[in-house]
Structure 1
Amino acid sequence: MATNDFHAVGAVLAQEFTLEWPQSGELIRGPRNFALLNAEYPAQGPWRFTINQIVAQGETVVSDVSVTDGVQQGRAISFFTLAGGKIMKIVEFWPEPYAPPHDRARFTEPLI
């Protein structure tokens, strides 16, 4: 992904690959659609990825990755299912940041 050559990512995706985005109710089916969607997504520059954390157990991997094109910023929490050395399925969440409620300020402090 860091190379922004999204068609090359197809080498690690199974032919039956699916990507689910539950928040928007979308399903992306197949390596080709995955590559085209990412290649055609509006960006101000190359996408840069920062891996915050990866957890793996057997055929299941979870990643927490920050993404930016220099203007847009996002964070993806992704659940991968592997089979035969390929990625079969990803269920991915793109949470939106929000201001904390004032009523818990006495219990919390800013992360930054």
Structure 2
Amino acid sequence: MNARFISLMATNNFHAVAAVLAQDFVLEWPQSKERIRGAANFAQLNTEYPAQGPWVFTINRIVGSGKEAVSDVSVTDGVQHARAISFFTVEHGKITRMVEFWPDPYEAPFDRAQFVERIE
């Protein structure tokens, strides 16, 4: 289900995503303390989000079972680059709930080069 969600998002026609969202769909962003209710609000928010070009979605990993899944997706508009970790709840073939985290990259907090490899 969440692979279909991501492929619909990749069309950049965010209203089309409603096909996989439940009537009472809710998306939560704990980091910014925001909740989006309903497919219409979700679609409009994504449509109006400032972008430099079409959004491109790269699936890094999806894991899950029938009612729950987690995706790790990279997103870019050619200028902005982000990564989203999304937790999906699915009921009756529709996504009812998502909890999504958009972590920001940061420099290592102390010198630990002797213990780690840099990821590029």
* Cα RMSD, aligned residues only: 0.7
SS at structure 2 position matched to 1:23: coil
Which consecutive residues of structure 2, in runs of 5 or more, have no partner in the other structure? Answer: 1-8
> Which residue pairs with 1:43 in the alignment?
51
- Cα drift, residue 58 of structure 1: 2.4
Report what 1:54 is aligned to.
62
Q: TM-score, normalised by structure 2?
A: 0.91
Query: Where in structure 2 are the equivalents of 1:23-38 lying within 5 Å?
Result: 23-38=31-46
**Amino acid in the other structure paired with 1:104:** R
Distance 2:27 2:66 in 1: 20
SS at match of 1:74: strand
Whether 1:67 and 2:75 are equivalent positions in the alignment is: yes
Aligned-partner Cα distance in 1 for 2:119–2:81:
17
Q: Tell me the alpha carbon deviations over residues 51-99 of structure 1, each in whole angstroms, 9 at most, x when there is no partner.
A: 0000012200100000000000100000000000000000000000000
1:33 aligns to what SS in structure 2? helix
Moved over 4 A (4+): none
Q: Unmatched 5+ residue regions in structure 1? A: none
User: When the two structures are aligned, how many residues end up with a matched partner?
Assistant: 112
Percent of pairs identical after alignment? 70
